[in-house]
Amino acid sequence: MLRDLFSPGFLRRLESLRIEVKRVAIAARKGGYESINKKGSSIEFADYQAYNPGDDFRYIDWNLYGRLDKLLVKTFKEEVELSVHILLDASRSMLYPEVDRKFDFSKRVALALAYIGLSNHNSVRVAAIINPSEKGASRTTVQTPFFQKLSGIFRIKDFLGEIEPSGEMDLVSFIYRYIHENKSRGGTVIILSDFMIPPRSYKKGLDILRFKNYDIKVVQVLGSGELDPFKNIKSGEIVDVETKEKKTINVTGSLKKKYHQLLEEHNLALRSYCKSNKIVYTLARTDMPLEDLILREMPRIGFVRG
């Protein structure tokens, strides 16, 4: 039951929200989002824009041409379906530090966003970002079908409960496979990850989505254990959870300073890349109440709207 995870009041608030869209790829079915259509297949006039070669002469406003000596084309509002692709990082790093519970928190965020989409009759799919080179991993993407009805939230919940994180995250390979298997179906892509991968990797993966004209939203999930891992530690052994490489360290003041500097630089690079490419970005701290993230922070940055 959803009420095991979310209160009835929170679910009602989710139903009042909708996922904000900066660009919409028109889908086959009608839906609840407006797109500008030069062909004028709907009845509601939207605006004028300059005539370009290939535009339909029938929609030139000749009265304005007579007054302004400019060719302007009428545009119309058309309701289109929004496809929402929720991509969840299922690499082993999402399980560590254990105290942060990044993967569990990410699953709850994914479920809440899927609920918002389905409440607005969007077409919603959830997929796990899993490296196919890992032993036992499928060469195809691990994903749900697209759901349009709110009842699909229960199958999405079951799907999320069955994912077991493993291996390293290969975002580029995943994005290539995902787009190919989904036949470049456009819409909004929401990526939930700690983004603890080299900047060149996430930039290339996101650039592929940008080239395909997706509306992209990034949720970087981190916890206090990752943001300040040496708070009460003087020495110990660290293990790379994805490669299993081990290293003994002494936690000095300079080491703490260097760690925080490198982490801030890494996170700043991600934020800056997103800002410069008009990708909506938010940092989701796992010690932050989920309700505050969804109902306060995401509307504030234009991730969702009421």
Q: What was the pLDDT predicted at 33?
A: 52
Highest mean pLDDT among 41-50, 182-191, 258-267: 258-267
User: How far is the first Cα of the chain from the last one, in angstroms, to the nearest whole number?
Assistant: 25
Is 228's pLDDT higher than 80? Answer: yes
Q: In the structure, what pLDDT confidence band is assigned to residue 45 with cuts at 50, 70 and 90?
A: low
Q: Please identify, among 60, 80, 100, the residue that sits at the C-terminal boundary of a domain.
A: 80
In a shared domain, residues 239 and 279: yes
Highest mean pLDDT among 37-51, 121-135, 186-200, 251-265: 186-200
Is 82's pLDDT higher than 90? Answer: no
CATH code of the domain containing 275: 3.40.50.410
In a shared domain, residues 41 and 120: no
| Model confidence pLDDT, tens digit, residues 30-43 | 445 544 444 444 45
Q: In the structure, what pLDDT confidence band is assigned to residue 106 with cuts at 50, 70 and 90?
A: very high
- In the predicted model, what is the mean pLDDT of the chain? 85
| Structural domains of the chain, count | 2
In a shared domain, residues 60 and 119: no
In a shared domain, residues 112 and 38: no
Q: What was the pLDDT predicted at 140?
A: 73
In a shared domain, residues 54 and 202: no
27 near 146, Cβ under 8 Å?
no
In a shared domain, residues 198 and 122: yes
In a shared domain, residues 189 and 278: yes
**Rounded CA separation 25/19 (Å):** 14
Q: What was the pLDDT predicted at 238?
A: 61
Q: Where are the alpha helices (DSSP H) in the chain?
A: 8-15, 62-68, 102-119, 152-162, 171-181, 199-211, 224-227, 253-276, 290-292, 298-301
Provide mean pLDDT across the span 265-271.
98
Residues contacting 34, CB < 8 A, separation 6+: 77, 78, 79, 80
In a shared domain, residues 213 and 157: yes
Give the Å distances, CA to CA, from 259 to 73, 193, 205, 229, 262.
56, 20, 26, 9, 5
In a shared domain, residues 49 and 150: no
In a shared domain, residues 65 and 195: no
Look at the block and give the residue holding tokens 């456009």.
186
In a shared domain, residues 71 and 134: no
Provide mean pLDDT across the span 129-157.
84
Query: Which range marks the domain in which residue 103 is found?
Result: 2-25+82-305
Q: Which of 57-61, 108-112, 164-168, 244-248 has the lowest mean pLDDT?
A: 244-248
In a shared domain, residues 66 and 125: no
Say what percent of the chain tops pLDDT 70. 82
Is 282's pLDDT higher than 70? Answer: yes
Is 144's pLDDT higher than 50? Answer: yes
